[in-house]
C-alpha cells in the first residue's frame, strides 16, 4: 500500500512542476489558434457564370424497361425508416442497372416501378435464377408514417404490401 501511494505522490509532484499544459504546444486545442475576421471581396458578376443554366437542367428520360414479373416484395424496418426490397424476373439474361423508381405517393399508397436496362446483342434466356433481379430502396420514417400501402409495378405483375 505504501509503495503505490509513494509512486502516485512522486508522479503528482513531477507534473505540478511542469509548465501549464493549456498554454503548451502539446495541447491539440492550441494547434490552430483562434479565428479572425477577414473582409470579403465581392465577386465580379460579369466574370462568374452560374452552375445551372437559366432554363434549368433537362434530365435525361428514363429509357429502362419495366421488369415484367415481380416475384417478391419485402419491407424491413430500420431505425431511420424502412427498406423496401423487391425481386423480379427479367425476360432474358443480362439485364442490369435495376432500380425501384418512385411513380407516385397518393392517398397513403406509395407506388414504385421496377425498371432495368436491356442488354445489347443476342443473349440467351437461361434459367429463372440467372434472370432474377433484386433491388432495394430506403424510405424515411417521416414519409413512412403516412404510408398505408406499398405497391411495386411490373409489366405483367404487381405486388402490394399493406399495413
The predicted structure's pLDDT at residue 87: 92
Q: Is residue 57 part of a domain?
A: no
Q: Is residue 59 part of a domain?
A: no
Distance, CA of 106 to CA of 148 (rounded, Å): 10
pLDDT at 38 over 90: no
Q: Is residue 29 part of a domain?
A: no
Q: Is residue 44 part of a domain?
A: no
- Going by pLDDT thresholds of 50, 70 and 90, the confidence category of residue 146 is confident
What pLDDT, in 10s, does the model give residues 14-30? 665 555 666 666 665 56
Distance, CA of 147 to CA of 112 (rounded, Å): 13
Summarize the chain as % helix, strand, coil (round to 5): 20, 35, 45
The predicted structure's pLDDT at residue 21: 62
DSSP structure string for 45-90: TTT---SS-TT---PPP--PEEPSEEEEEEEEEETTEEEEEEEEE-
Q: How far is CA 132 from CA 37, 45, 108, in A?
A: 59, 54, 29
Q: Is residue 39 part of a domain?
A: no
71: exposed, middle or buried (Cβ count in 10 Å: 0-12, 13-18, 19+): middle
Q: pTM value?
A: 0.62
**The domain containing residue 83 runs over which residues?**
65-120+127-162
Q: Is residue 132 part of a domain?
A: yes
Q: Is residue 55 part of a domain?
A: no
Number of domains in the chain: 1
What pLDDT, in 10s, does the model give residues 92-138? 998 999 999 999 888 888 999 999 998 888 788 888 899 999 999 99
Q: Is residue 146 part of a domain?
A: yes
Whole-number average pLDDT of the chain: 80
Amino acid at each position: 500500500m505504501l509503495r503505490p501511494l509513494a509512486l502516485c505522490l512522486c508522479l503528482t509532484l513531477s507534473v505540478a512542476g511542469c509548465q501549464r499544459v493549456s498554454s503548451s504546444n502539446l495541447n491539440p486545442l492550441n494547434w490552430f489558434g483562434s479565428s479572425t475576421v477577414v473582409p470579403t471581396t465581392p465577386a465580379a458578376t460579369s466574370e462568374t457564370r452560374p452552375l445551372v443554366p437559366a432554363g434549368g437542367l433537362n434530365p435525361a428520360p428514363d429509357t429502362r424497361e419495366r421488369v415484367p414479373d415481380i416475384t417478391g416484395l419485402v419491407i424491413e424496418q430500420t431505425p431511420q425508416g424502412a427498406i423496401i426490397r423487391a425481386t423480379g424476373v427479367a425476360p432474358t439474361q443480362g439485364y442490369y442497372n435495376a432500380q425501384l423508381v418512385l411513380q407516385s405517393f397518393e392517398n397513403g399508397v406509395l407506388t414504385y416501378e421496377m425498371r432495368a436496362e436491356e442488354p445489347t446483342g443476342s443473349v440467351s434466356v437461361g434459367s429463372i435464377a440467372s434472370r432474377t433481379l433484386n433491388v432495394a430502396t430506403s424510405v424515411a420514417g417521416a414519409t413512412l408514417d403516412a404510408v398505408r400501402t406499398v405497391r411495386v409495378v411490373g409489366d405483367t405483375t404487381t405486388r402490394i404490401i399493406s399495413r
